[in-house]
Structure 1
Amino acid sequence: MIFRLGFVAMTLDLENCSPSGAVTYAAYKKLEDENARKIRLARVSRSNLGNTLRILKNNAALNIEVYRLTSKLIPLATHNELSGWDFGTEFHEEFKQIGDFIKANNFRVSAHPDHFTLLNSIKPEVLEASIIDLDYHVRMFEAMGLYDYKYKLVLHVGGMYGDKEKSIERFKINFKRLPDRIRKRIILENDDKSFTASDVLYICKELNIPMVLDVHHHNCVNNGEPIEELLPGIFKTWEQEEYPPKLHFSSPRSCKEFRSHADYIDVNDFMSFLKTAKIFNRDLDFMLECKMKDRALLELSDKLKNVKELCSINKSTFKI
């Protein structure tokens, strides 16, 4: 069984390398004229895109092949006032360089739209905004030339709205209405308060989409079922996919702040889960959701090298 480690968006080991530089709408409107506004957006967007390529090159040097792109690459791209902005064409060369590098290095990249992207919302305007946000993410993939549906978008089911069953049905109905270019990229994750791993597995089976198990979220909320009972069904949802099952892993910050992510991964917690997963002998990819980003990955990697049951292939890849 081979597993790989990945991290989310930001690197802490490269200076001045944020891929998430922002322009608020208030700051945008304060600028004197339309040309000044366009220049500001272009400058920040190009900086974000350039820093993303820097991060990917650093990942290649470290053999880190699993990476989550930030959702904030292009500031204000989903704002109503910029609805006609063809950022893919404006930054064609920058996007192409990123996409070419991803494909040349066979990176597994994904994105995770923010918590306000809710396909099961009871408010039509929220659903409309959510679809616009999903379209924005897909447009970024397409601008990079990443047309293959193996490049995914991770979503939560959404809100409960006082009735879990109706909320699930609303998600299923709205999901089926999405265009293929969006729908075929979506994979679904259990959350830490409302929709358990069992709930999400049921939805994924119904809709025939892959499920991302968030191990930390399962520990936060579940129906008492052992995680090993869920793993075979979760892994089966990935049978038609090119990449192996993907999981999210993090450690709680403290007993009091159990839902919050810690800076680093507790290696004992990780190994405990890994030994459980090994029973099913499936290659896996882990997205580490830690405050210390790539430093947390590298620290965990160093600790795993000293675990006798493991064989280190490179900094992010191991065999058990």
Structure 2
Amino acid sequence: MLAELRLADGTLVAQTAATVRAAPPAAVTRKLGPAGGVVALAAEGVTLTFPAGALSETVQVYARPLGRPQDAPGNIHRAYESLTAPYSMPPTAGLLYKVRQMTSVCDGLQLPADDPEEACAGVQIWDPTTGELLRHLWNESGRLPPPSRRTDAALSADGRLVKYSSGAASDKELPMHLGFVVKPLARPELKSHDSRRWQNSPHLSVSLAYLRDVFAYLAEAQIGMYRISSELAPYATHPDMPQFHNQVAECAAELAQLGETARAASLRLSFHPAQHVVLNAAAPALVERSAADLIVQSAILDAMRQGPEGVIVTHMGGVYGDRAAARDRFCAAHDRLPEAVRRRLVLENDDVRFGVADTLWVHERTGIRLVFDNLHHRLNNPDGRPPRAALADCLATWPAGVRPKIHFSTPRTEWLVEEQRGSLPPRVRQARWQHHADYVNPFEFIDLLRQAEGLRPFDVMLEVRAKDLALRQLRRDLARYAPDLAARLEPALPAEDHAAAEALTSDEEVG
């Protein structure tokens, strides 16, 4: 499972697993990553070759003029390869090719001949000319379909796979999912996770039992996206409680079964780690603890066999008095993460420190996908980037064939009255625009979707205090005020919501 890097004359320079078989010529500079993989290579021409008949490694290729600082942005070629055929980089002098190992995939044409039942969770098929992701196949059983079922494939003259189609709906034809965060308020008896203290031996298995009930409610309410609690596996990374560290492995069968339930319902799942997960922290110990949390959450999604749409959303972290150094630390920490985490981690612009421009800077250096948050962009947009442009930039960081997601919320406008203990009078807190409202302002949501006309489709996670109640209210509002947009949603409005929408439409308001 090694990929070779060769010069245009055929000289073997290196393999992505770090073995360098031949001393590179003076014209070639190479840089090895933390795991030994080649991450940078400079030459007049480079050919990337996969051994015939072997599973390959997908790599991401960047290019920038030599002489620029290492952190300078480059022209991202995004040349991906998942086949056994060679792929030649442009033989252009004076370019630095940055090769980044991404994820293991199976041969895009056929299974290994020696084992037709070779286990493989999914296949990514890329156009070797344009680098476009054409299809991502995910088999529920965890094994590839037999070759006879993959017949609609087009090959180029030199035998490379350039097109594959299974007859499934294209991304543009798929309806939009709306999602909510963790706790269903319409069913207050449902629990999102096992919240017992460590003395009572909480366990992931209990959380999964709760999650099965939540999934049943989501199917009943026809809600197609859901954010799982980051506390699903209690104390799984606590350094002083090793008895909790193997929960994911202990629940492998339950996770696989629950993942099958989610896939059957076309339910898109995600995590958003707690605020203590800070990859760019100045303290190495905090970075290490943050990585441990991400590893557990990615292991859960992998055990559930979720596709590339199953992501872990994080923020950049703190500035710590030096914005440039903080961004660099995030990139370095990202690159040290296990590959299984990197392929699920996505980055969101925040409301105070790092806006869309910052996240795009990080994307250019790491390849991390970006999640656009509309409220955060309103609050933190120092370069004045228009919302549509910011949204388009973030959507473009997602590979073709993988539906992007964004976050949407409405700022809280009313003051809060807090009861205090004893005889103290209630305390009034003024509105802060960073706070999320209970419900979605439907007109702001409609405006955003109108602005997004012509952009690639995306799903929307609603970050509102009323959670699923707000989601269902938004569907009713769209049916009333923007029926053309309501028709794009997945799913169509349930019967109960149709009735409520009709009641709203027929109401005569007085005043």
Q: 2:295: which partner in 1?
A: 135
Q: 1:124: which partner in 2?
A: 284
SS of residue in 2 equivalent to 1:303: helix
- Out of 322, 337, 347, the position equivalent to 1:188 is 347
Which shifted more, 9-18 or 256-265? 9-18
- Out of 100, 108, 130, the position equivalent to 2:268 is 108
Q: How does 1:157-196 map to 2 (within 5 A)?
A: 157-196=316-355
Give how far 1:6 is off.
0.8
Higher relative contact order (CA 8 A, sep 6+): 1
Q: 1:277: which partner in 2?
A: 452
RMSD value, Cα: 2.0
Give how far 1:290 is off.
0.8
SS of residue in 2 equivalent to 1:305: helix
**Higher alpha-carbon Rg:** 2
Counterpart amino acid of residue 81 in structure 1: D
Tell me the percent identity: 31
Question: TM-score, length-normalised on structure 2?
Answer: 0.56
Query: Residues 108-136 of structure 1, C-alpha deviation per residue, up to 9 Å, x if partnerless?
Result: 11101111111111101101101111111
Give how far 1:213 is off.
0.3
Distance 1:168 1:307 in 2: 42
Query: Residues 172-203 of structure 1, C-alpha deviation per residue, up to 9 Å, x if partnerless?
Result: 11111111011111110001110011111221
SS of residue in 2 equivalent to 1:287: strand
Distance 2:482 2:433 in 1: 30
Kindly indicate whether residue 71 of structure 2 is the aligned counterpart of residue 71 of structure 1.
no
Kindly indicate whether residue 486 of structure 2 is the aligned counterpart of residue 312 of structure 1.
yes
Q: 1:32: which partner in 2?
A: none
Kindly indicate whether residue 270 of structure 2 is the aligned counterpart of residue 97 of structure 1.
no
Kindly indicate whether residue 475 of structure 2 is the aligned counterpart of residue 301 of structure 1.
yes
CA contact (8 A) 1:63 1:314 kept: no
Q: 2:44: which partner in 1?
A: none
Counterpart amino acid of residue 433 in structure 2: F
Distance 1:317 1:201 in 2: 32
Question: TM-score, length-normalised on structure 1?
Answer: 0.87
Q: 1:21: which partner in 2?
A: 194
Query: For structure 2, which runs of at least 5 residues remain unmatched after alignment?
Result: 1-171, 415-430, 493-511
Structure number with higher helix proportion: 1
Number of paired residues?
301
Q: 1:12: which partner in 2?
A: 185
Distance 1:248 1:311 in 2: 17
Give how far 1:3 is off.
2.8
Give how far 1:61 is off.
2.3
Query: Residues 31-54 of structure 1, C-alpha deviation per residue, up to 9 Å, x if partnerless?
Result: xxxxxx5xx324xx4442112111
Give how far 1:317 is off.
4.4
Q: 1:226 to 1:257 in 2, by over 3 A?
A: same
Query: For structure 1, which runs of at least 5 residues remain unmatched after alignment?
Result: 29-36
Q: 2:155: which partner in 1?
A: none
